[in-house]
Amino acid sequence: MIRFENISVKYTLKSKQEVEAVRGVTLEIGEGEIFGIVGTSGAGKSTLLRTINLLQRPTDGRILIGGNDITHLRGESLRQLRLTTGMIFQHFNLIHNKTVFDNIAFAMRSAGKSKSEIERRVPEVLELVGLLDKAKSYPSNLSGGQKQRVGIARSIANDPQILLCDEPTSALDMETTQSILDLLKEINNRLKITTVIISHEMDVIKKICDKVAVMSKGEVVETGDVFRIFAVPEHPFTKQLVNSTLDLELPRKLNENRTKRLFKLVYRGERAEEPVISETVRKFPVDMNILHGKIEYIAEQPIGVLILNLEGAKESVDSAVSYLKTRVAEVEELHA
């Protein structure tokens, strides 16, 4: 487990002016979790991430890994910490004049691994990331997604316990992003490496993380299970981030020239698969039209909205609505 206790990081600029990039962060990341840190540019995400392997030393506070205080490690124990912490980067940070094999071998040699160990392990990690046939290629002959796969292979070559991912998909297109996130998830599942991933995109968090911390202006403003954060965000900044990605707002045309009774059903949990709609129509003498719907699965649970038009005698519609209220998270009548 990684524990931040009241971590602050200040940078002193040449002008002697101080920038407080991280302010009093207390946070726990469980063993084997995929933990996201999300926030807009300049929120302090990279700075916080880099304190985990002390690429950035905190100005205040303590960091504990597996109960051990690592805040002041130096020399050989610092080297050991870095060896047990793999890292991948937005722009891959590969060595351009070395082959794929040698990029990974270099990281292993730096960790003191023997030639025979390197020769056994490099093909193994290349196979894991699906690039065994590229061992002799140079980075310049690889696509962005392939370069990141090499970055991932290199980061796990020394069997780390923690994997730090600094905006790992920001330089990639949507399709490649998905395949890299799938790979990170597979590696987390197979190797049980605690994975910390920073991103400015809630979409990335939604697709891969178990838990998330939301950062704004150096502070963690909210933290929790990904599903909870998307279903019931509490902090205004989190609400803003969630709204921008889920986009559960109604299409404007539904609010124009409205003559029918419309209801908004909100799903927040396990009930989207249940035949709520057909049961309602069967139980009550009402007609129902679905006008708009958007349901997404986050942490394998549905979140979304349906917009329904219900028609029939007023009492029948009211009874149907009362029934719906017992079956989904929220039912709200939309008034023009």
Nearest approach, Cβ of residue 45 and ligand ATP (Å): 4
Distance separating alpha carbons of residues 279 and 265, to the nearest angstrom: 15
Ramachandran sector of residue 75 (left: φ over 0; alpha: ψ -120 to 50; beta: rest): left
Q: Which token pair is 66?
A: 């597996």
Which residue reads 């600029």 in tokens? 13
* Cα distance from N-terminal residue to C-terminal residue, the chain: 51
Nearest approach, Cβ of residue 251 and ligand ATP (Å): 32
CA 307 from centre of chain: 29
Residues in contact with ligand ATP by CB under 6 A are 11, 13, 19, 21, 39, 41-47, 200
**Between 56 and 137, CB nearer to ligand ATP:** 56
What element of type H or E holds 101?
A: helix 100-110
**Between 13 and 174, CB nearer to ligand ATP:** 13
Nearest approach, Cβ of residue 291 and ligand ATP (Å): 39
Distance separating alpha carbons of residues 272 and 89, to the nearest angstrom: 37
Nearest approach, Cβ of residue 269 and ligand ATP (Å): 31
**Between 55 and 299, CB nearer to ligand ATP:** 55
Nearest approach, Cβ of residue 4 and ligand ATP (Å): 14
**Between 17 and 257, CB nearer to ligand ATP:** 17
**Between 153 and 166, CB nearer to ligand ATP:** 166
Residue 156, C-beta contacts closer than 8 angstroms, at least 6 positions apart: 86, 125, 128, 163, 187, 191, 193
